[in-house]
Structure 1
């Protein structure tokens, strides 16, 4: 794991292998990262799971947000590009969260989710698919 300058790792955080916690990022109490990158200023402050994912700069995960990285059937994760279903070649692939996105408390992303910059996910929402810049996901 890599912990960048001025990154904050709070009591009870679990930083697993191949995690990059960049400058000024935060991993808080009872949050776990695995095979993920938190770019500068990204926050997973409390009770979060960030697996096989990328958090863009200044992303904030509300309490209890989970970035699911494994399909229930264990099969390969797919995503969509230009409306076409595309295989990722990965059994575990969480989410790519764009710059300054905000995810409300207890939101969950399904494997392969992509959020463009500035998206807002309301609390308790399960997110699927790809969402463009400044989308509000209800």
Structure 2
């Protein structure tokens, strides 16, 4: 049922908070509400030259740093960080998740306490533009989606310049070393070198 979809629920919440939030639009940032409202909680810190496209939500004590680009259907929860020159598109950063510098996060979910090293990219689109498949125990499973980035479990850490291919799922407390490319679905505490 489309009324009960996650996207529908998030849009309902953003719309309900939008009117109260109008006073929060800060100097030096640009906001595009053509497609939907942008809601920024009072305690969020948004630095100059950030650009936000609605619908999106920025939670309490979140940090949106200089030059960050937050695109539609993004949800930045409390204490999360979107850093300098990082782009977030159609994604959820749960509390304390960090994409702190030069990151791309597309069509993804970052669990609590996830940290992306500088230059990490969560790729969301196959080169041929076709449906993303998940690789589970060597079997290709269709996702039904043309764009699907990564789902990163709580406290997962990705080293600088690492890349996840479309459709990656990493369990909690996983580690990806710098300059590593990851494909597939992996259990908690997995290590990728």
* TM-score, normalising length: structure 1: 0.98
Aligned to 1:136: 191
Q: Deviations over 1:112-135 (max 9, x none)?
A: 000000000000001001111101
Alignment pair present for 1:112 and 2:167: yes
Question: What's 1:22 paired with?
Answer: 77
Where has structure 1 moved over 6 Å in runs of 4 or more?
none
Q: 1:56 aligns with which of 103, 108, 111?
A: 111
* Structure of greater relative contact order (alpha carbons < 8 Å, 6+ residues apart): 1
1:92 alignment partner, SS class? coil
C-alpha displacement of 1:79: 0.5
Aligned residues: 138
> Once superposed, what is the RMSD of the aligned Cα atoms?
0.9
State the Cα deviation string for residues 60-86 of structure 1 (Å, max 9, x = none): 000000000000011100003454321
Higher strand share: 1
Instruction: Provide the rounded CA distance (Å) in 2 between the counterparts of 1:125 and 1:38.
Output: 22
Give me the TM-score of the superposition, normalised by structure 2: 0.70
Gaps of 5+ in 2: 1-55
Q: Distance in 1 between matches of 2:84 and 2:74?
A: 16
Pick the structure with more helix per residue: 2
